[in-house]
């Protein structure tokens, strides 16, 4: 990192250093902020549609937490070996070179900016249901939220980390309170928790003894599709790795924050889903358009709608702040390596990469104004899965190429844990292609087009150094 900074012009060197002021608490907060979204109030319905068995429905959230933990041990090794800010880009750039780093970095940056836009738009839509005067002004409110969080981040890393800590804590606390409150519903009117209800589905509850190969295959496919949804809900468990050079003790605090966050999120998700099946029959969950709203209505009565809308807003505020932080660190790291303008390495005295923040704000606003950013995000989601696969591949590459490099944390269970993480990523990539062929083809075309874009970046931006 120091060599990279020293390669910059003298006038930029003193303005290109991030502040090492973050600790374990921030790592947990930003990871929870990125992982737990309002989707947890909707996605269980999709899972229940595939797995109409209470035991399988609840159990798959345990499996999701276990998988996130298995993946986090590989990210812990990479982040302590390379304690630099920039996230997944840093790992792939180090292990696989400039072009792989470029692909991962740009996809990660654009996806983070798109997530900011999506969360801001969701907040504005949900708020309109509570404040009628906001009806029809979703785009204006979403744009105002993007600008507001830009100003918060502009004020410095200490302010943005405080905002992250407060919003993440309140989000986690509110979800736990709602889940616990659900158990106050009169059990006589609730669904028996451990009884397998009758439901017709490809998974057919549990495959009976002597079931046909076709039934077992249907069960396998249904479980795989449900697991894909669950793992997406756990995505974000690696959030702390974006801040390697800003954490006071990265070798200790980054692994601890990831591991702690995985299990905190796992407890929240499992508790919520147990509450869902306590209040509603599994068949009702599977057919619900918005299971969180249905459960809130049963739990809080007439106030249920306001409760669930408030939950969504709180969840997404925390998400906006976290992904703005991710976006700025990714672009900052790429700029330092000559894959974007060297001006984007400028850091304010308060620790904010100002040019990277400004560029991220512009892209987030462009996503909003385009009116078609949902399609763009669908394409970028494909690239995100590629990013995971390349990051896990980086562990194997660096173990072989640099076996004696300092590693403050070594992936537990290597090579099996890293192999499982890489294998599942590749299976998800295949699943994405099969389940969404149109967007997958767009994504593949985008990846192909990334090479000439990369050559242009290498041709023009390094000349500034």
pLDDT digits (tens, 9 = 90+) for 400-443: 999 998 888 999 999 999 999 999 888 877 777 776 677 677 77
Cα–Cα distance between 375 and 381 in angstroms, integer?
Answer: 10
Task: Indicate whether 306 belongs to any domain.
Answer: yes
At 201 the pLDDT is 44
In a domain, 451, yes or no: yes
Question: In this structure, what is the dihedral angle of CA atoms 418, 422, 424, 428, given to the nearest 10 degrees?
Answer: 150
- The three-class DSSP label of residue 22 is strand
pTM: 0.88
Cα distance between residue 192 and residue 282, in whole Å: 10
Strand runs (DSSP E) across 39-119, as ranges?
A: none
Average per-residue pLDDT for the chain:
85
Q: Is residue 464 part of a domain?
A: no
**Residue 247 φ/ψ, nearest 5 degrees:** -90, 135
SS3 of 85, please? Answer: strand
- Cβ atoms of 310 and 170 closer than 8 Å: no
Predicted local distance difference test score (pLDDT) of residue 138: 85
CA-to-CA distance for 50 and 219, rounded, in angstroms?
9
Q: According to the model, what pLDDT value does residue 2 have?
A: 47
CATH number of 223's domain? 1.20.1740.10
pLDDT at 202: 42
Gyration radius (Cα) of the chain, Å: 22
Residue-level pLDDT at 200: 40
Q: Which of 124, 143, 412, 171 shows the shortest CA–CA distance to 314?
A: 171
pLDDT recorded at residue 379: 67
**Preceding peptide of 272 cis, ω within 30°:** no
Structural domains counted in the chain: 1
Q: Which residues of the chain have pLDDT under 50?
A: 2, 5-6, 10-12, 14, 189-210, 463-465
* Confidence at residue 213, expressed as pLDDT on a 0 to 100 scale: 59
Quick one: what percent of the chain has pLDDT higher than 90? Answer: 53
Q: How many whole angstroms separate alpha carbon 255 and alpha carbon 238? A: 9
pLDDT at position 376: 63
Q: Cα–Cα distance between 438 and 257 in angstroms, integer? A: 38
pLDDT at 186: 67
Question: What is the spatial distance between Cα 322 and Cα 435, in angstroms, rounded to a whole number?
Answer: 29
Q: What is the pLDDT of residue 135?
A: 81
Structural domain boundaries, residue 415: 2-459
In a domain, 465, yes or no: no
Please tell me the predicted confidence (pLDDT) of residue 371. 66
- State whether the Cα torsion 240-262-221-288 is positive or negative: negative
């Amino acid at each position: 990192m120091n060599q990279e900074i020293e390669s910059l012009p003298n006038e930029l060197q003193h303005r290109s250093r991030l502040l090492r002021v973050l600790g374990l608490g921030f790592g947990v907060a930003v990871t929870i902020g990125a992982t737990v979204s309002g989707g947890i109030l909707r996605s269980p319905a999709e899972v229940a549609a595939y797995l109409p068995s209470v035991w399988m429905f609840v159990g798959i959230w345990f499996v999701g937490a276990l998988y996130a933990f298995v993946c986090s041990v590989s990210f812990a090794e990479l982040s302590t070996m390379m304690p630099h800010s920039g996230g997944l880009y840093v790992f792939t750039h180090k292990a696989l070179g400039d072009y792989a780093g470029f692909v991962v970095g740009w996809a990660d940056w654009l996806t983070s900016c798109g997530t900011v836009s999506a969360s801001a738009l969701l907040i504005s839509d949900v708020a309109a249901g509570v404040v009628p005067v906001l009806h029809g002004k979703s785009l204006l409110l979403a744009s105002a939220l993007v600008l507001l969080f830009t100003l918060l981040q502009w004020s410095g890393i200490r302010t943005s980390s405080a905002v992250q800590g407060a919003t993440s804590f309140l989000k986690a606390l509110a979800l736990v309170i709602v889940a616990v409150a659900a158990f106050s519903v009169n059990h006589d009117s609730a669904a028996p928790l451990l009884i397998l209800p009758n439901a017709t589905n490809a998974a057919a509850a549990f495959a009976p003894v002597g079931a046909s190969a076709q039934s077992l295959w249907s069960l396998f496919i249904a479980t795989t599709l449900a697991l894909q949804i669950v793992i997406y809900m756990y995505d974000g468990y690696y959030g702390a790795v974006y801040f390697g050079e800003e954490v006071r003790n990265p070798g200790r605090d980054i692994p601890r924050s990831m591991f702690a966050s995985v299990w905190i999120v796992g407890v929240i998700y499992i508790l919520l889903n147990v509450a869902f099946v306590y209040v509603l029959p599994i068949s009702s969950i599977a057919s619900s358009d918005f299971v969180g709203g249905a459960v809130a209505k049963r739990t809080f009565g007439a106030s249920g709608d306001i409760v669930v809308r408030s939950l969504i807003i709180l969840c997404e505020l925390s998400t906006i702040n976290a992904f703005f932080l991710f976006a700025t660190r990714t672009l900052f790291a790429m700029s330092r390596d000559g894959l974007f303008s060297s001006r984007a390495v400028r850091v304010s005295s308060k620790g904010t990469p100002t040019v990277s923040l400004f560029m991220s704000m512009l892209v987030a606003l462009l996503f909003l104004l385009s009116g078609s950013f949902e399609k763009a995000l669908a394409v970028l989601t494909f690239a995100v899965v590629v990013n995971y696969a390349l990051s896990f591949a980086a562990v194997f590459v660096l173990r072989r190429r640099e076996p004696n490099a300092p590693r403050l944390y070594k992936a537990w269970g290597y090579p099996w844990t890293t192999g499982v993480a890489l294998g599942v990523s590749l299976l998800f990539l295949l699943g994405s292609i099969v389940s969404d062929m149109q967007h997958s083809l767009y994504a593949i075309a985008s990846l192909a087009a990334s090479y000439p874009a990369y050559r242009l970046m290498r041709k023009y931006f390094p000349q500034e150094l």
